[in-house]
Amino acid sequence: EPEVTQTPSHQVTQMGQEVILRCVPISNHLYFYWYRQILGQKVEFLVSFYNNEISEKSEIFDDQFSVERPDGSNFTLKIRSTKLEDSAMYFCASSRDRYPTGELFFGEGSRLTVL
């Protein structure tokens, strides 16, 4: 069964370092998303991406964050200079169709720990 895959599963980094989280969405999907979940808190939307551009972003997604689809398969989230409060589980998601018809599938997540 097709699935969204994410790497790395866990990354530990020093504050101020750049981090890139990678995702391979389901192959025939066109809409891509990043969400995050700080430990013990709700899953929060970060950004949506379609047709090689950001379609919506949240207040959390400030200038330190960027997304890219460098080739036909990968979708990346970059955090330019990590802060302690960036420690969270980051989930990539993809859907074939746009809301409200699209079933949205999530990956297993990448746990980021900022020291």
Partner 1 sequence: SQELEQSPQSLIVQEGKNLTINCTSSKTLYGLYWYKQKYGEGLIFLMMLQKGGEEKSHEKITAKLDEKKQQSSLHITASQPSHAGIYLCGADRGSEKLVFGKGMKLTVNP
36 near partner 1, rule: CB under 8 A: no
101 near partner 1, rule: CB under 8 A: yes
Q: If we measure between CA atoms, which residue out of 35, 31, 48, 44 comes closest to residue 92?
A: 35
Instruction: State the CB neighbour count (10 A cutoff) for residue 5.
Output: 13
The answer to whether residues 94 and 29 touch, using CB atoms and an 8 Å cutoff, is yes
**Interface with partner 1 by CB under 8 A: which range of 17-25, 36-44, 64-72, 76-84?**
36-44
7 near partner 1, rule: CB under 8 A: no
Q: Which residues bind partner 1 (CB under 8 A)?
A: 33, 35, 42-45, 48, 55-56, 58, 89, 91, 93, 99-101, 103-109, 111
